[in-house]
Amino acid sequence: MTSTARSLRDELRAAADPAAFPNRHYRGGADVLGVRMGTLFEIAKRHRDMSLGEVGRLLDEPAYEVRLSGFCVLDWQVRPPRLSEEAREERFRLYLDRHDAIDSWDMVDRAAPRVVGGFLRDRSRDPLFELAASPDPLRRRTAMTAPLAYTRPAHPAGIADLLRLAALLAQDPDPLVSKPVGTALKHAGGVAPEEVRTFLARQGESLPAPVRRQARAKLPD
């Protein structure tokens, strides 16, 4: 059976139970179907061979879970190590071109590390710094979440840029941005502890206390 945006959407609607799964973490203004997140991920995985055009149609849908499933499909599609660079770039471009479809933090967290960070692993990461300067907090969240790709496995140049981005965004007034700064530093500390210690010493108390606590979470004693 050919995977289409319509068939995936119909599966989500069939699985919906808004009384059991109201998905109150979603703060956007779109309709909520009420689909358990684990079920949504399983459905998206079954549709991972969907064409890119059909993924784009998912991102055009108004319902929150349908758009989230589109970003989940992108995440599944870029996981195979033998995927061509052309295919990776197409998915990277679609993510950035359709950032307007992102109105929830979990869409970023699901796709940005592999789709954006993974593609930029051995390329210029200037797009992340452009996102970091955006007035949109969800674009800034992408800038700070994508570099998680450089902590597994460790990528020294990528971690250096992660730290530069953290310095830019650590005092961001929006929790959508400041929280992933701490998360990124925590994971960086697990693979590059000396670099993170140096970063913390340089930033000092200019870093918010919650960010400092998270950054130290994986540092060796």
Q: Which of 187, 3, 11 is nearest to 77 (CA)?
A: 3
Tally the residues of the chain. 221
Residues 115 and 146 occupy one common structural domain: no
Cβ contacts of 202 within 8 Å, gap of 6 or more: none
Of 74, 98, 119, which residue sits at a domain end? Answer: 119
Residues 34 and 52 occupy one common structural domain: yes
Residues 216 and 167 occupy one common structural domain: yes
Q: How far is CA 129 from the centre of its chain?
A: 15
205 Rama class: left (phi>0) / alpha (psi -120 to 50) / beta: alpha
Domain residues for the domain of 201 are 123-221
Q: Which of 73, 66, 82, 72 is nearest to 52 (CA)?
A: 73
The 10s digit of each residue's pLDDT in 31-80 is 999 999 999 999 999 999 999 999 999 999 999 999 999 999 999 999 99
Q: Which of 161, 182, 183, 162 is nearest to 171 (CA)?
A: 182
Q: How many CB atoms lie within 10 A of CB 131?
A: 23
Q: Which two tokens stand for residue 1?
A: 């059976």
Q: How many CB atoms lie within 10 A of CB 99?
A: 18
Q: Which two tokens stand for residue 201?
A: 């010493």
pLDDT score recorded for residue 221 = 77
pLDDT score recorded for residue 5 = 98
Residues 83 and 128 occupy one common structural domain: no
Residues 25 and 98 occupy one common structural domain: yes
Of 78, 98, 119, which residue sits at a domain end? Answer: 119
pTM confidence score: 0.96
Q: Which regions of the chain are under pLDDT 50? A: none
Residues 130 and 97 occupy one common structural domain: no
Angle, CA of 160, 163 and 168, to the nearest 5°? 130
Q: Are 143 and 169 in contact (CB under 8 A)?
A: yes
215: CATH: 1.25.40.290
Q: How many CB atoms lie within 10 A of CB 164?
A: 16
pLDDT score recorded for residue 1 = 64
- Report in angstroms the alpha-carbon separations of 32 from 24, 82, 117, 157, 216: 9, 36, 29, 40, 37
pLDDT score recorded for residue 71 = 98
DSSP sequence for 32-82? -----HHHHHHHHHHTTT--HHHHHHHHH-SSHHHHHHHHHHHHHHT-STT
